[in-house]
Amino acid sequence: MEKKIQDDINSRRTFAIISHPDAGKTTITEKLLYFGGAIRDAGTVKGKKTGKYATSDWMEIEKQRGISVTSSVLQFDYAGKRVNILDTPGHEDFSEDTYRTLMAVDAAVMMVDSAKGIEPQTIKLFKVCRMRGIPIFTFINKMDRQGKEPLELMEELEEVLGIQSYAMNWPIGMGKEFLGIYDRYNNRIELARPEGEQRYLPVNEEGELAVEHSMTATSYYKQALEDVMLLNEAGNSFDEERVAKGELTPVFFGSALTNFGVQTFLETFLQFAPPPQARKTREGEDVEPESEVFSGFIFKIQANMNPAHRDRIAFVRIVSGKFERGMSVNVPRLSKNFKLSQTTQFLADDRETVNEAVAGDIIGLYDTGNYQIGDTVIGGKGSFQFEALPQFTPELFVRVAAKNVMKSKQFHKGILQLVQEGAIQYYKTLHTEEVILGAVGQLQFEVFEHRMRAEYNVDVQMETMGSKVARWIENEEDVKESMAGQRALLVKDRFDRKVFLFENDFAMRWFQDKFPDIHLYNLL
């Protein structure tokens, strides 16, 4: 492979920011873009209103600056690296797509609100990152506000998430008294309110400030020194290998809003975040990013919600080689070749045509209904397929039927295609074969309803079943229908595997106590 392409691949850093809504993901993303030169004055950009991306704002920035800011993939250059940030919505548009996006990244940044600690959505997303064994970096945000004690937050990380942590820096005070951070990694103190040019102060071999500063008289400074001493003696040590495996999370304290600690975070993150990683084929072989052959997999399909445009975009994470517009690719599932002339790097009003991209990048392919989530695309004649994307345990369920029974054929066709596409999960009751749909986010049902009408001309009626705890069964042959009941509905999934839908955790535990020989398990 040409050295230039290899260098391009090595410069890629592809990651997602995971967080519970309101932890500050939008705010930090803005600041990162600002450092990347994508936005000249970060302060003037308001990314979000009333809990939802103000998409128009992003598009406006995009038009003004001619840069790539959309809610799907953000790209910028910093310190010789090409950074790709994949969006994982934490809001009402949370869905299986959100989880699958994490299949396409090489690292994750976990944003935590210092006053709230680890919140439910963060736990869900964290688990998926953990399962993949990718490095996870933690940014504890909003230090300009009064929050939990830093040691308590570190403990919470370890206890709630079960991941060990290493504080890269340590806050000196917080809220109104937030004086700065003790940067353990760079051996310096970064001032929250720098005097003149003096933003960084060096620390000496004893770990104390090496220069005169009024801060040394404060109790916050003394407390921070004491804490750092304690971390040095009793805390985990920094271990790059364990970071790479996702066993140890480097923790940064800061404030996205006041843009404090963000640049140091970005620089340190880029130093340790991995370049594009190899992916396994179904046969268990690694496909290295530097492999000559272009390959990638589809992790998301975005259908245009506008009925005037029936096109869809399939998002491809490039695993190896180089993409060039107009190239011909093979989709082994279909044994079919496609010429990739209509490609886009970003999803926005003004989609930007991409001519070249390399391993680590994300490209969008215009799709007229050929691709499925999980599809492998390979340049030339290659025929391997990447490991299947995992199926996730849905939490929300509805019963669904066609309003007009005469439309039952289209109804089943539509469901089949949307299920294959990964938009929704399919279940059916044992004998009556009523259709039940499962999702991880409410929006999936709305999209389903909309698309059934727009694309298959079927009006559906949906009856909410609410949230359920879905469990698959290791020893299906031992399950008897009499074990099912009101609180433990027995259904089949699309592969005809039996699944219990429990009313809640309590019902599941009750079932397990009563039938200890039935071994339940959940998907991711």
169 touches ligand G4P (CB under 6 A): no
What H or E segment, with its residue span, contains residue 98? helix 96-101
Distance separating alpha carbons of residues 254 and 366, to the nearest angstrom: 40
Interface pattern 247-266 for ligand G4P (x via CB under 6 A): --------xxx---------
Q: Which of 54, 31, 56 is nearest to 41 (CA)?
A: 31
What are the Cα distances from residue 193, in Å, to 150, 200, 210, 216, 261?
20, 11, 18, 15, 12
Site for ligand G4P contains 39 (CB under 6 A):
no
Q: How far apart are CA 376 and CA 421, in angstroms?
A: 14
Q: Report residue 262 as tokens.
A: 């963000």
Among 12, 25, 317, 322, binds ligand G4P (CB under 6 A): 25
The letter for the amino acid at 221 is Y
| Residue type present at position 84 | N
- Alpha-helical segments (H) within 235-310: 240-244, 262-272
Q: Is the Cβ of residue 96 or residue 144 nearer to ligand G4P in the bound state?
A: 144
Cα separation, 314 vs 432, whole angstroms: 35
Q: How do beta strands 248-253 and 198-202 pair?
A: unpaired
Stretch near ligand G4P under the rule CB under 6 A, chosen from 17-25, 170-178, 213-221, 464-472: 17-25
Q: Which stretch binds ligand G4P (CB under 6 A): 140-148, 302-310, 393-401, 410-418?
A: 140-148
From residue 48 to residue 67, the character string flagging contacts with ligand G4P as x (rule: CB under 6 A) and all else as - is x-------------------
Task: Work out how close the CB of 276 gets to ligand G4P at its nearest, in angstroms, rounded to a whole number.
Answer: 26
Residue with Cβ nearer ligand G4P (142 or 468): 142
- If one asks whether residue 27 binds ligand G4P (CB under 6 A), the answer comes out as yes
Task: At 145, list the tokens.
Answer: 């506000």
- By CB under 6 A, is residue 81 in contact with ligand G4P? no
Q: Cα(500)–Cα(59) distance, rounded to whole angstroms?
A: 44
Build a one-symbol-per-residue string for 183-212: x at contacts with ligand G4P by CB under 6 A, - elsewhere.
Answer: ------------------------------
Tell me if 144 contacts ligand G4P by CB under 6 A. Answer: yes
Torsion angle defined by CA atoms of residues 115, 121, 124 and 127, in that order, rounded to the nearest 10 degrees: -40
- Asked if 329 touches ligand G4P (CB under 6 A), the answer is no
98: contact with ligand G4P by CB under 6 A: no
Among 18, 24, 317, 394, binds ligand G4P (CB under 6 A): 24
Q: How far is the CB of 181 from ligand G4P (least distance, A)?
A: 13
Least distance to ligand G4P, CB of residue 19, Å: 5
Interface with ligand G4P includes 171 (CB under 6 A)? Answer: no
Q: Is 118 in the site for ligand G4P (CB under 6 A)?
A: no
- Which residue type, as a one-letter code, is found at position 497? R
Residue 31 touches ligand G4P, criterion: CB under 6 A:
no
Q: CA angle, 156 as apex, 191 and 524 as ends, to 5°?
A: 120
Binding site for ligand G4P (CB under 6 A): 19, 21-27, 46, 48, 90, 141-142, 144-145, 255-257
